[in-house]
């Protein structure tokens, strides 16, 4: 069985247990293949926690859920040194960030010090306690969630931390067919739970070695030079949108950073690989552009006052940039 076949089976398992959120599941797999982190925004009850939990059952490694609150401390994430009175020494006890898959639930409810600890872990794959730095596992992915409904008592994520997320995914409500499927799935799970059956366990767990090998195949996916230029044009368009229409002048205060160029390149390759191809098409780039750029472009005051969104501006730019 090829690595692509193993990921196809993993996708089928996720689709069977998380109904109506295919885009979220696709983006989770892309983040896993690209060695990146995921910021998910959506109302409560849309299976955000369930999705990462099902993935944790399907991939070899440890999973930990962190509920972010205003009274959270950095040591609650990183760990702390414990005093041993027996010999008068200090022993470091590792915190939740030393797991492979992390769910940072309602990440914007934690204060700046906690977010800075998470930022170091995401960006540098390490944590620092006192004067000692500890490396994190090679397979390390953070999926952070935000609730767009309640903003009271929240701490908006700084731009530097937002830029560390590979993708920013917006999760919406399922349609009528999805709601009916959720009802049927819930009844079946209730019956299995009553029989003490394991609800999320797949037939085969994907090993970390397979994940690492799949990442190499994604990097080897062919991206033609004209498409590389297309990616660069898309990123540059966010920095000077007025080149693609006078009505876009002044709508973006800051464009995407070079990290967005790298992210769009790698995500387009992963999108093509998950589709069973060994080459990238313009559709792969366009499909990933919104999730890559949504949190990396900063709207101006005028754009916010006019009710414009980053998705709308990115869509306009994609429509006006020539496709190779």
Q: In angstroms, what CA-CA distances link 311 with 4, 116, 170, 254?
A: 31, 27, 11, 15
Whether 296 contacts 283, CB under 8 Å: no
Mean pLDDT in residue range 126-148: 89
- Which of 300, 240, 289 has the alpha carbon at shortest distance from 260? 289
DSSP code string of 186-220: HHHHHHHHHTT--SS--SSPBPHHHHHHHHHHHHH
Which tokens is 198 given? 């394991």
Which has more pLDDT, 184 or 199? 184
Q: In angstroms, what CA-CA distances link 251 with 155, 238, 297?
A: 25, 10, 10
Residue 93 to residue 83: CA distance in whole angstroms: 10
Q: What is the pLDDT of residue 216?
A: 96
Mean pLDDT in residue range 37-56: 89
Could you tell me the sign of the dihedral formed by the alpha carbons of 222, 225, 226, 231, in that order?
positive
Q: What angle do CA 297, 301, 305 make, to 5 degrees?
A: 110
Q: What value does the CA radius of gyration of the chain take, rounded to a whole number of Å?
A: 21
Chain segment 269-312, per-residue pLDDT in tens: 999 999 999 999 999 999 999 999 999 999 989 888 888 899 99
What's the pTM?
A: 0.92
SS3 of the chain: helix, strand, coil, percent, to 5: 50, 15, 35
Helix (H) / strand (E) element for 267: namely: helix 258-274
- Per domain, the residue ranges of the chain are 3-194, 221-320
Superfamily of domain 3-194: P-loop containing nucleotide triphosphate hydrolases (3.40.50.300)
Q: What is the pLDDT of residue 198?
A: 65
DSSP code string of 4-43: HHHHHHHHHHHHHHS-S-HHHHHHHHHHHHTT--EEEE--
* pLDDT of residue 148 exceeding 90: no
Q: CA dihedral defined by 121, 100, 219, 280, rounded to 10 degrees?
A: -100
Which tokens is 245 given? 């229409």
pLDDT range class, residue 197, cuts 50, 70, 90: low
* pLDDT of residue 116 exceeding 90: no
Which tokens is 170 given? 């917006």
**Per-residue buried b or exposed e for 273-308, using 16+ beta carbons within 10 Å of the residue's own CB:** bbeeeeebbbebbbbbbbbbbbbbbbbeeebeeeeb
* pLDDT of residue 187 exceeding 90: no
- CATH number among 3.40.50.20, 3.40.50.150, 2.170.130.10, 1.10.8.80, domain 221-320: 1.10.8.80
């Amino acid at each position: 069985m090829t690595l692509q076949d193993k990921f196809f089976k993993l996708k089928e398992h996720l689709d069977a247990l998380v109904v109506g959120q295919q885009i979220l599941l696709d983006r989770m797999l892309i983040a896993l293949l690209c060695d990146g982190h995921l910021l998910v925004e959506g109302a409560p009850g849309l299976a955000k926690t369930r999705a990462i939990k099902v993935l944790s059952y399907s991939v070899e490694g440890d999973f930990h859920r962190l509920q972010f609150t205003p009274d959270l401390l950095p040591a609650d994430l990183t760990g702390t040194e414990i005093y041993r009175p027996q010999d008068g020494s200090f022993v470091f006890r590792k915190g939740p960030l030393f797991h492979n898959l992390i769910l940072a639930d309602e990440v914007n409810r934690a204060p700046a010090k906690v977010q800075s600890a998470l930022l170091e872990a995401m960006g540098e794959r390490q944590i620092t306690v006192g004067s000692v730095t500890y490396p994190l596992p090679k397979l390390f992915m953070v999926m952070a969630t935000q609730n767009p409904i309640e903003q009271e008592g929240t701490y908006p994520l700084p731009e530097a931390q937002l830029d560390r997320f590979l993708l920013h995914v917006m999760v919406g409500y399922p349609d009528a067919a999805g709601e009916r499927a959720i009802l049927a799935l819930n009844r079946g799970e209730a019956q299995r739970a009553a029989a003490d059956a394991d609800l999320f366990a797949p037939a085969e767990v994907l090993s970390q070695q397979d994940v690492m090998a799949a990442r190499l195949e994604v990097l080897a996916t062919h991206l033609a030079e004209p498409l590389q230029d297309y990616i660069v044009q898309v990123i540059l368009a966010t920095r000077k949108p007025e080149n693609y229409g006078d009505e876009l002048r002044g709508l973006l205060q800051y464009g995407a950073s070079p990290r967005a160029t790298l992210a769009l390149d790698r995500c387009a390759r992963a999108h093509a690989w998950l589709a069973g191809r060994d080459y990238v098409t313009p559709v792969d780039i366009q499909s990933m552009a919104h999730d890559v750029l949504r949190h990396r472009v900063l709207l101006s005051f005028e754009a916010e006052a006019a009710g414009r969104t980053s998705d709308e501006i990115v869509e306009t730019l994609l429509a006006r940039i020539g496709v190779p």
